[in-house]
A and B are shown apart, each in its own frame.
Chain A
Amino acid sequence: PQEHQEEAKSSAVSSSQIFHSDGGEMEPETMEIKSVSEYFTKMHMGSVMSRQRG
C-alpha cells in the first residue's frame, strides 16, 4: 500500500530546468511507514473494547 502512495506523488519540475542537465528525473523515495491503527488493532483493541464495555 505504501508503494502506491509514493507512486501517486508527482513532483513539479520548474521550466527553468534544462533538458538532461539535471541528470534525469528521479523516482520517489520510499519512506518506512509505522501505523498506530495497525499496532493498536494487533495489541490493544481487545483490551480497550472490554474496557469500553465495562
Chain B
Amino acid sequence: HVRYRMEVSCLELALEGERLCKVGDYRAGVSFFEAAIQVGTEDLQVLSAIYSQLGNAYFHLHDYAKALEFHRHDLTLTRTIGDLLGEAKASGNLGNTLKVLGRFDEAVVCCQRHLDIARDTNDKVGQARALYNFGNVYHAKGKSICWSGAEPGDFPEEVMMALRKAAEYYEANLVIVKEHGDRAAQGRTYGNLGNTYYLLGNFRKAVASHEQRLLIAKEFGDRSAERRAYCNLGNAYIFLGEFEVAAEHYKKTLQLARQLKDRAVEAQACYSLGNTYTLLQDYERAIDNHLKHLIIAQDLNDRIGEGRACWSLGNAHTALGNHDQAMHFAEKHLEICKETGDRSGELTARMNVSDLQMVLGLSYSTNNSTLSENKDIDYNLHGARPRMSRRHSMENLELMQLTPDKMNGQK
C-alpha cells in the first residue's frame, strides 16, 4: 500500500513537471522532477523519462553541466534495461549537450550511436534527427577551431574540413526530411546549411539555402525564423558585394525585430544597416542607423555595443568631414574601451583621437583645401571609405570588425 502511494506521488510530481515544461516554465518543472526523483520509482521507464526531461529542462535553462549529468543518467539507465529506442534518444540529447559544452569528439560518438540505432531499427525519422545533430556538431566544431580574423571561405583546412562534413550531414538529412515532407525540419536544416555554406565561402549556395529557409518560415508564420533568414541573407549579400540587396534584407530584419519587440536584435539590425550604408558611401544614413544602435545599446546597458557605435559614428563623421562630431565619438569610444578593458579598441581610439586632433589643429591654422585633403587620408586610416569591389570592401569590413572587439575575443 505504501509503495503504491509512493508510485502515484512520483508519477503525479513528474506529470506536473512535464506540464510545466510544456508551457515553458522550466524552473518550476525542474523542481517537480527533482521532487519526483526524491520520492523515487521502481518503474525504470518512468525514471528514464524523468532523467531525460530534467536534462532537457536544464538544457533550456542553459545549465549544461546539469543537463549533461541527467542525460548521462538516462543513457546509463536505458543501456542497463536494454531500451534501444530510449538509448538512441539519450545519445542524441547527450550529443547536443556535449556540443554546447565544446566537447565535440564525445558529441560525435553520441551522434553516431544515435544514427546507428536509428539505422538498425530502420527508423528514418530518427536517422534524420541524428544527421541534423551531426551537422550541428561539425558546424560548431568548425567555428570553434579558428574564429579570429579570417574571412568566411578562408579558414584553415581543419576548419574547412569540419564545415564540409557539416554540409554533408545536413544534405543527407535534407534527403530524408524532403521524402517525409517534414517542412519544419527542412526549414531548420536549410537555415544551418545556409550558415555552413556561408562560412565555406559559398555565398551563392548560402543565399539559395536561406531563401528556402525564408519560404518555410513564412509558411509557418514563424517570424523569428523569418527574421533570422533575412539577417543571414543580408550577411551573404554583403559578401557577394551586393550592398543594396543586403540593405533591403537588413531593413526587413529591422522591421521584424521591431514587431517582435526584440531590442537587442533591433540594435544589431541597425548596426548592420549602418555598416552597409557605409559600404554604399551613404554616410548620412549610416549615421542615422548607428545612432539608433547607440540609443538601444545605452538602454540595454551594453557598453561594448555602445563603444562600437561610437567608433562607427566617429568613422562616418570623419568621412563626411564633421571632425568635431568625429572627435566627440572618438573620445567616447576611448573612454568606453578603457572601461571595458578592450586593449586593441583603446589603441584604435587613441590613434583616431590623435589623428583628429591633428586635423582639427590644421583646420584652425589653414584653409579648407587642406582640410579636404586630410579627409581623404582619414578615410584610409580608419577603413571607412568603401570600395565597390568585393575584395576591397571586405578588407574594409575586416578593419571595422577587428578594431573594437575581435582581438579581444568578444562575440
Contact = CB atoms under 8 A, between A and B. Distances in A.
A34 B411 contact: no
A27 B192 contact: yes
Interface string B106-129: 000000000000000000000001
Interface in A1-39: 3-10, 12-37, 39
Contact of B45 (A37, A43, A48): A43
Given A16-B410, A24-B198, A7 B220 contact: yes
A30 B188 contact: yes
A51 interface: yes
Interface string B75-115: 00000000000101110110010011000000000000000
Interface residues of A, number: 40
B203 to A, nearest CB: 10
A34 B405 contact: no
A15 B267 contact: yes
Contacts of A28: 188
Contacts of B187: 27
Contacts of A6: 188
B11 interface: yes
Contact of A32 (B89, B152, B222): B89
B264 interface: yes
Contacts of B260: 10
Most chain B beta-carbon contacts within 10 A, residue among A10, A16, A17, A48: A16
Contacts of A22: 411
A48 B184 CA distance: 37
Interface in B253-298: 260, 262, 264-265, 267-268, 271-272, 275, 293, 296-297
A51 B191 CA distance: 50
A24 B188 contact: no
Contacts of B192: 26-27
Interface magnitude class on chain B: 35 or more
Given A26-B191, A32-B129, A15 B268 contact: yes
B136 interface: yes
A5 to B, nearest CB: 8
The SS class assigned to the A binding surface is: loop
Interface stretch (B228-236, B316-324, B361-369): B228-236
A13 B195 contact: no
Contact of B93 (A3, A5, A15, A32): A32
Contacts of B48: 34
A21 B402 CA distance: 10
Nearest to A40: B11
Contacts of A15: 264, 267-268, 271, 293, 296-297, 300, 302, 305
Interface stretch (B50-58, B351-359, B374-382, B384-392): B50-58
Nearest to A4: B184
A38 B294 CA distance: 50
Contacts of B199: 23-24
A24 B194 contact: yes
A32 B92 contact: yes
A5 B222 CA distance: 12
Nearest to A1: B22
Nearest to A12: B264
A25 B228 CA distance: 6
Nearest to A43: B45
B59 interface: yes
B151 to A, nearest CB: 10
20 contacts: A4-B184, A5-B22, A10-B260, A12-B264, A12-B265, A15-B296, A16-B305, A19-B250, A22-B411, A24-B231, A25-B231, A27-B189, A27-B225, A29-B59, A29-B133, A30-B129, A31-B56, A31-B93, A32-B93, A51-B4
